[in-house]
Amino acid sequence: MRIADLLRHKGSDVATVPPGVSVAGLLDDLARHNVGAMVVCDDAGSVIGIVSERDVVRKLNERGAELLHEPVSAIMTTSVVTCEPSEHVDSLASIMTERRIRHMPVVSNGELVGIVSIGDVVRSRIAQLESDRQQLESYIARG
């Protein structure tokens, strides 16, 4: 299965945040969208970072509550690993596992077109295994 197929099923909505929003504002957005990470985009809509709940927790532990007033740009990951819709879910699963990435923005021609989480990848692989199992059972039943 390709990433494009996965996005067709899950949708292509991506919660984004500008780099100047405070960490407190980010937390509000994470809760409102019920997501664990947000893509940070500049005014032109280009991906310039990604920030997760884990980033916030770790930085809060280091810096204390004053972090809540700092901009998202102070804690975001700037070396964002992205994928393209044409890539296969299996290769994405390997990359996400090896690099310990939980959320990967999907970019096509420089434009953000979706986001894939490790949960999306796992659901996709389970669905593929179930489909394979059903096909094998059907094949065996036919003789």
Say how far apart CA 2 and CA 143 lie, in whole Å.
32
Q: In sequence order, which ranges of the chain are alpha helices (DSSP H)? A: 3-10, 23-33, 53-63, 89-99, 118-141
Q: What is the pLDDT of residue 137?
A: 86
Nearest-5° angle of CA 134, CA 92, CA 45?
Answer: 125
- Per the listing, tokens 């070396």 go with 79
Q: What range defines the domain where residue 85 resides?
A: 3-141
52 and 76 Cβ atoms separated by less than 8 Å: no
pLDDT in tens, 76-105: 999 999 999 999 998 898 999 999 999 999
Task: State residue 143's pLDDT score.
Answer: 67
Per-residue pLDDT reduced to its tens digit, 24-80: 999 999 999 999 999 999 998 899 999 999 999 999 999 999 999 999 999 999 999
The larger pLDDT score, comparing residue 143 to residue 108, is at 108
Average pLDDT over every residue of 108-131: 90
Question: Measured between alpha carbons, how far is 41 from 112 in angstroms, rounded to an integer?
Answer: 9
Residue 23 has pLDDT above 90, yes or no: yes
Burial class of residue 140 in the structure, from the number of CB atoms within 10 Å of its CB (0-12 exposed, 13-18 middle, 19+ buried): exposed
Stated pTM of the model: 0.85
For the chain, the domain total comes to: 1
64 Rama class: left (phi>0) / alpha (psi -120 to 50) / beta? left
**β-sheet bridge partners, residue 52:** 37
CATH value at residue 106: 3.10.580.10
Determine the Cα–Cα distance for residues 1 and 131; give it in Å rounded to an integer.
Answer: 12
- CA dihedral angle for residue 26, residue 17, residue 96, residue 8, rounded to 10 degrees: 120
What pLDDT was estimated at residue 29? 96
